[in-house]
Chain A
C-alpha cells in the first residue's frame, strides 16, 4: 500500500484554470439550487412550484384532502405514480388521514401538525420531516409519498416505495450445480437484505451514498467491521466521494471510476451476481459495493486469483474442487495461447510436432490459399462475430445463427478448402476453453490479448509469444487493486495463501483468512476442526 495512487484526491491540489472553469459550469447544472430553499407555507404555492419544477409531468399525483379538525386544514399528498405501492399508500397514509379519531387533535396549530402526524398517525416504517426542496425532491423521486400542510413550511415523507420490480431469479451469468439458486436483483434493498440473510451479524456494516447528480443513484458500501482493512475503506470512500458525474446507470460506471489502473485489459474490480459469493468475499475481509438498478455487485480489492474461484468450489469436496481449479487455470492459458501457439508451431517450429501429425497437418494445408496466421486470424474474427451476434440477437433467431455459423461456416469453409480443418479445431477448442472461466470479465481480457499474441506469433514465432507473455507478466505485476498487488499471492509470494489458489485445500486447513486483507483478525476457524481418527483405529 506504499504510495497508493489516489484518483481525484491527488489531482485536487493542482487544478488548472481550465478545470476550475469547467467545474463552475458544472455547478450550475446540479440540483443544488434546491438546497436550503425552504418550502412555502401556502399549499397552493407549493403545489404550483412542484408542478412547475417538474414540468407538469403527468405521473406526479397531487391528492388534496381536508382534515377533520376545527379549522379544516387543507392537506396535499404528492407522490409519483408507479413508484409507490398503491395498497400500502391507501392503507397506511390515505386512510389514517381520513380517520375520525383524528378530530381529537382539533385544536392543534398548523406547524404542530407534521410532528403529530409523524408520531401518531402514519404507521409506515420510515417517516421523515422535510424542510427544504432538495430533500423534498430526493424523497419524492425515490418513491416516497410527501404530505404537505396548509399554513406550515414543514412537510413529512413516508416510505411507501413499491412498484413493479423483477423478482429474485437464478443468476444468469454465474450458474452453479450446487449452491443457492438466488441471484441479485435490480433493487438495492433486496440485495442488501440478501447479503444480510447470509451474514447475520451486527458487524456487517452498511454505508450509503448517493452518486450521480441527475440519477441520484443509491450506492452502498458493505463490509464486516473489524475484518475489512480501514485503509482500504478510507481509500474507497475517498474515491467514491470524488466521483462527480451526471448519472450512474450500472455498477460498471462506478467500477471504471474507482479503478487505479485504466490502461489495462484486466479487470481490477470484480463483479458478482451471487449473494453467497459476495458473502464469502466479505468474510475474507473484502468490501462490496452495491449500486441500485443492477444485479452486479462490485468487490474490492480484487486479485487475479479471484477470477478462478467459484463459490461452488467451497460447496464441493476439496479434491474435485482442486481439480476444477487447475482445469480453469489451464483453460485460461488455452484460451489465451492456443491459436498463437498453433500458428507459431505450424509456421516456425515444425520440428516440435511428431512426424505423423506433421504429415497430417501438411496434407490438410495442401491447397489452402492462406498462410496459417491469416487462417487463424480470420477464424478468430468469425468466432468473435458469431459470439457477439448470438448474445445480442432476439432469441427466436438464435437457432438460425447456430445453423448458419456451425454448419455453413464451420463445415463448408473446410470443404471448400478455404481454411484447414486444424484451424477450425483450434479455434473452436479455444472458444470452448474460454467459457470455462467462472468470471466473464477476465475472459474478455483473454479475448483481446489473443489477437495480440496471434500477431506476435505470426511475426516472431515462439520468441514473439515469449516476449508478449513477458510483457503481460510485467504488466500484471504492476497492477494493484486498492494497494493489493494483482498477482498476489504468487507474487509477492504468500505461502499460506496458496491454499486457495491452484488448489483448494480442505476447509479445516483454511485456518486463516488471506494475508494483507483481514489484518486485524486473521484467524478463520478453530484448530480442533482437524478430523481425528476414532480411538482404537
Chain B
C-alpha cells in the first residue's frame, strides 16, 4: 500500500474528514482572529464568536447540498458539468488562484509568528523552506496519510488546549467582561465580519475532500460535519472568553498572537512557567494541517482542471511558487492584520460563499445530479496495476473529459 498509497485515489472515513476540517478551522485562525474580533467587538467578542456558528453552518450547508447532488465529484468537476466545460475550468482557475494565495498567506503566518516570537534571528525564508519540505512530504503521501496524521494531531491538539485553559483558570477575571453589550448587538455583529472571511469561507476546501469520503461512511458525514461546526464554534468562543478574561480587552486587541501571549501567563507555583512553546507546537501542527490541505487542494484542483492522471508532479512546483509568494504577500505583520480584516473577507466570501451558492442555484434550476465517479483517470501503463485496487469502493469509471 504505502508505496502507491493514494497515488491516484483514496478513501478516508467520515470522522477523519471531520477532524481535518476541525484542524483546518483552528488552523492559522485560532491564534490571529481573536485579536481582530476583539478590536471590533471589545469585551463582547465572545458573542461574535458564538454568532459565527450559525453563519458557519449556513456556509457548510451550501457545500453539503452540492456534495449531495454530486457525491463523487469535487468542485472542479461539477463546475464543468453545471456551467459547461470551459466556464467550469475558468471557475476552477479562480479557485486555484485563491488557494495559491491562501497557501502563501498561511505560510506567511507561521513564519511571521516564529520570526517574531520564537526564532527572532532566523531569516524568514529559512523557516519557510524547512516548513515547506515537511508540507511537500505530507502532500506527496496523499490524503489518507494526511487524514491519519490529522487524527493524531487532533487528539494532541485538543489535549493541550484543554490543559492550557485549565491551567489559566486561576487568572480568570469575570470583571473583564463588563459592561456586557453596552452598545447593543451592533458591535458583536460587526465582529463576525473578519471571522466570516478567515476562516469560515476558506472552508470551501472541503468541496475537494468530501468526494473522497468512503461510500459506506457517507450517511454519517453530514452529522459529523455539523458537530464539527459546533466544536469549532465552541473552541473559538472558549479561546476568546479566556483571552478576554485573562489578558483583558486592550491587551488582546494589541497582541499579534494573542493565544500565545496568553499562554505566557501560565504560572503554577513558579514551577510550571513559560510553557507557551507548547502552544507554539500545537499551532505549528494545526497550521501545518491547514497548509498541507491547501497545497493538496491546490494540486488536486489543478490536476482535475487539466485532466491529469495524478496530482503529484504539481506538488513541488506549487510549493516552490508558494514560498516567494508568501515573502512578498505582505510588507509586515501589521499589514497582515489590515489585509485579513479588510480585504480578505470580501475575496474569501466571493470564492467561498457566492460562487458555490451560484453553482448550487444553477444546478438546482437545471435539476442536475450526478452519481458518476470523479476519480483521476487511471494510468494507462502497466495495465492499471497500480490504480485498480485503490479504486475499490469508489466509482470505477474514469472521469469523462
Residues of A at the B interface (CB closer than 8 Å) are 1-5, 10, 13-14, 260-261, 348-349, 351-352, 354, 460-464, 466-467, 470-471, 473-474, 477-480, 483, 485, 487, 490-493
The smallest C-beta distance from B145 to any residue of chain A, in angstroms, reads: 4
Going nearest first, the 5 A-B pairs with the smallest beta carbon separation are A3-B390, A491-B151, A477-B148, A3-B389, A491-B148
A478 touches B145 (CB 8 A): yes
B390: chain A residues at CB < 8 Å are 2-3
CB within 8 Å of A: which of B379-398? 382-383, 385-390, 392-393
CA of A354 to CA of B275, assembled, Å: 11
Known A-B contacts A354-B270, A461-B119, A478-B2; the reply to A470 vs B134 at CB < 8 A is: yes
CA of A349 to CA of B275, assembled, Å: 10
6 new A-B pairs (CB below 8 Å) besides A3-B386, A260-B2, A474-B137? Answer: A3-B388, A460-B130, A461-B118, A464-B130, A471-B134, A492-B16
A10 touches B385 (CB 8 A): yes
B151 touches A490 (CB 8 A): yes
Task: Write out, one digit per residue, whether chain B residues 136-165 have a CB within 8 A of any chain A CB (1) or not (0).
Answer: 011001000111111111010000000000
B281 touches A466 (CB 8 A): yes
Residue of B nearest to A468 (CB): B134
Residue of A nearest to B392 (CB): A2
B281 touches A492 (CB 8 A): no
B155 touches A490 (CB 8 A): yes
B11: chain A residues at CB < 8 Å are 2
A463 touches B284 (CB 8 A): yes
Residue of B nearest to A345 (CB): B277
B277 touches A352 (CB 8 A): yes
B392: chain A residues at CB < 8 Å are 2-3
Task: Write out, one digit per residue, whether chain B residues 106-124 have a CB within 8 A of any chain A CB (1) or not (0).
Answer: 0000000010001100100
Residue of B nearest to A480 (CB): B1
CA of A512 to CA of B348, assembled, Å: 48
| B220 at the binding interface (Cβ < 8 Å) | no
CA of A463 to CA of B147, assembled, Å: 22
| B337 at the binding interface (Cβ < 8 Å) | no
CA of A352 to CA of B264, assembled, Å: 10
A10: chain B residues at CB < 8 Å are 385
CA of A477 to CA of B12, assembled, Å: 13
Chosen A-B contacts, 26 in total, with CB atoms closer than 8 Å, are A1-B1, A2-B389, A2-B393, A3-B1, A3-B387, A3-B388, A4-B1, A5-B4, A13-B385, A260-B1, A351-B274, A352-B275, A462-B118, A463-B114, A466-B280, A466-B285, A470-B284, A471-B137, A473-B149, A477-B141, A478-B141, A480-B1, A487-B152, A491-B151, A492-B16, A492-B148
Known A-B contacts A5-B1, A5-B2; the reply to A462 vs B16 at CB < 8 A is: no
The smallest C-beta distance from B7 to any residue of chain A, in angstroms, reads: 8
A261 touches B118 (CB 8 A): no
The smallest C-beta distance from B311 to any residue of chain A, in angstroms, reads: 16
The smallest C-beta distance from B26 to any residue of chain A, in angstroms, reads: 15
A462 touches B280 (CB 8 A): yes
B277 touches A349 (CB 8 A): yes
Residue of B nearest to A456 (CB): B130
B274 touches A473 (CB 8 A): no
CA of A480 to CA of B5, assembled, Å: 10
A5: chain B residues at CB < 8 Å are 1-4
CA of A470 to CA of B286, assembled, Å: 11
Interface centre among A3, A462, A478 (most CB of B within 10 A): A3
| B273 at the binding interface (Cβ < 8 Å) | yes
A477 touches B149 (CB 8 A): yes
Residue of B nearest to A487 (CB): B148
Give which listed residue, B134, B145, B155, B274, contacts A477 with CB less than 8 A.
Answer: B145
The smallest C-beta distance from B216 to any residue of chain A, in angstroms, reads: 13
Known A-B contacts A352-B277, A462-B281, A478-B2; the reply to A492 vs B151 at CB < 8 A is: yes
CA of A348 to CA of B382, assembled, Å: 52
CA of A471 to CA of B145, assembled, Å: 12
CB within 8 Å of A: which of B39-85? none
The smallest C-beta distance from A470 to any residue of chain B, in angstroms, reads: 5
Known A-B contacts A4-B389, A352-B274, A354-B270; the reply to A463 vs B383 at CB < 8 A is: no
Known A-B contacts A463-B114, A467-B130; the reply to A492 vs B119 at CB < 8 A is: no
CA of A478 to CA of B127, assembled, Å: 25
A492: chain B residues at CB < 8 Å are 13, 16, 147-148, 151
| B131 at the binding interface (Cβ < 8 Å) | yes
The smallest C-beta distance from B381 to any residue of chain A, in angstroms, reads: 9
Residue of A nearest to B388 (CB): A3
Interface centre among B5, B114, B270, B288 (most CB of A within 10 A): B5
The smallest C-beta distance from A7 to any residue of chain B, in angstroms, reads: 9
Give which listed residue, B134, B273, B393, contacts A467 with CB less than 8 A.
Answer: B134
Give which listed residue, B148, B150, B271, B382, contacts A485 with CB less than 8 A.
Answer: B148
CA of A479 to CA of B1, assembled, Å: 8
B148: chain A residues at CB < 8 Å are 477-478, 485, 487, 491-492
| B15 at the binding interface (Cβ < 8 Å) | yes
B288: chain A residues at CB < 8 Å are 470
B273 touches A354 (CB 8 A): yes
| B37 at the binding interface (Cβ < 8 Å) | no
B141: chain A residues at CB < 8 Å are 474, 477-478
B388: chain A residues at CB < 8 Å are 3
The smallest C-beta distance from B143 to any residue of chain A, in angstroms, reads: 11
The smallest C-beta distance from A38 to any residue of chain B, in angstroms, reads: 42
Known A-B contacts A354-B271, A493-B15, A493-B151; the reply to A348 vs B119 at CB < 8 A is: yes
| B209 at the binding interface (Cβ < 8 Å) | no
A1: chain B residues at CB < 8 Å are 1
B1 touches A483 (CB 8 A): yes
CA of A3 to CA of B387, assembled, Å: 7
The smallest C-beta distance from B112 to any residue of chain A, in angstroms, reads: 13
Interface centre among B15, B131, B152 (most CB of A within 10 A): B152
A477 touches B284 (CB 8 A): no
| B341 at the binding interface (Cβ < 8 Å) | no
A352: chain B residues at CB < 8 Å are 273-275, 277
The smallest C-beta distance from B349 to any residue of chain A, in angstroms, reads: 31
CA of A464 to CA of B130, assembled, Å: 9
A14 touches B145 (CB 8 A): no
| B10 at the binding interface (Cβ < 8 Å) | yes
CA of A14 to CA of B381, assembled, Å: 11
B118: chain A residues at CB < 8 Å are 348-349, 461-463
A480 touches B153 (CB 8 A): no
Residue of A nearest to B3 (CB): A5
CA of A461 to CA of B284, assembled, Å: 13
Residue of A nearest to B270 (CB): A354
Interface centre among B3, B130, B385 (most CB of A within 10 A): B3
CA of A470 to CA of B281, assembled, Å: 10
The smallest C-beta distance from B71 to any residue of chain A, in angstroms, reads: 19
Give which listed residue, A2, A463, A478, A485, contacts B119 with CB less than 8 A.
Answer: A463
CA of A473 to CA of B275, assembled, Å: 22
Task: Write out, one digit per residue, whether chain B residues 252-282 have a CB within 8 A of any chain A CB (1) or not (0).
Answer: 0000000000000000001101110100110
B138: chain A residues at CB < 8 Å are 470, 474
CA of A485 to CA of B131, assembled, Å: 25
CA of A461 to CA of B119, assembled, Å: 8
The smallest C-beta distance from A486 to any residue of chain B, in angstroms, reads: 9
The smallest C-beta distance from B253 to any residue of chain A, in angstroms, reads: 25
A349: chain B residues at CB < 8 Å are 118, 277
A480 touches B2 (CB 8 A): yes
A474 touches B277 (CB 8 A): no
A483: chain B residues at CB < 8 Å are 1
Known A-B contacts A473-B153, A474-B145, A491-B151; the reply to A2 vs B3 at CB < 8 A is: no
